[in-house]
Amino acid sequence: MNGDSIIGDFVKKFNNGKTKYLGVVEFGEVDYTTVLDCGEYLVFGGATNSTFLVDGYIDVEDGETLDQTIQGLIEDLNVWANDGAQYMSRVQLREVL
């Protein structure tokens, strides 16, 4: 399955009315991203006046607490900021054309 299909699948789940705003996390030197809890995924990105722009997501693994998933997200975002996306272990980024 390609990244666009995965993104499409979780956008359907994202629009389920159960999505929760978790807050803003800081990563790298000066980068920030908004995080939403969509149940099976934590989605991150940025908000505009009319929409939420998804940059990517991380799966919530079986038996994992929300805090553990957030920690995994922050760790991978720091790897992305410092070393590049190819070195991330869990986060899936939205492909930009």
- In the chain, where are the structural domains located? 3-93
> Taking the complete model, does pTM exceed 0.85, yes or no?
no
**Interval 54-60 mean pLDDT:** 92
Order of all β-strands in the sheet with 52-59 = 20-27, 31-37, 41-47, 52-59, 92-93
Task: Report the distance separating Cα 35 and Cα 7, nearest Å.
Answer: 15
Q: What digits encode the pLDDT tens for the residues 13-34? A: 566 677 889 999 999 888 999 9
DSSP string, 28-51: TTTEEEEEEE-SSEEEEEEE-SS-
Mean pLDDT of 33-43: 90
- Summarize the chain as % helix, strand, coil (round to 5): 35, 35, 35
Per-residue pLDDT at 67 exceeds 70: yes
- End-to-end CA gap in the chain: 17
